[in-house]
Amino acid sequence: MYTAVVTVTLRPSILDPQGKAMQHALHDLGHGAVQQVRAGKHIEMQIDAASAEEAERIARQACEQLLANPVMEDFAVTVEQAEGTPAA
């Protein structure tokens, strides 16, 4: 069993109104040093696979098919052995 962690972010060329709203709110709270905020999605999946490579392939396919919009978003995948499961 593997844990895949997926981070989905808007591409740099895409405007991020949610991130801009957060930046303004942070400035209002006295965090003027914050120069830019970009919002994204953090997704964790438990994947029953024979190897870390297979788990990563499955996670990437899930991103390409559903979890990320290929026109507007980029994604990154990391895979680790799930806690409490023996190493393959």
Task: Count helices and strands (H / E) in the chain.
Answer: 2, 3
pLDDT in tens, 29-73: 999 999 999 999 999 999 999 999 999 999 999 999 999 999 999
Domains observed in the chain: 2-81 (3.30.1280.10)
pLDDT band at 84 (very low <50, low <70, confident <90, very high): confident
For 37: left if phi > 0, alpha if psi spans -120 to 50, otherwise beta; the answer is beta
Residue 24 CA: distances (Å) to CA of 29, 35, 38, 71: 9, 10, 12, 27
Amino acid at 19: G
Nearest by Cα to 77 from 50, 48, 43, 51: 43
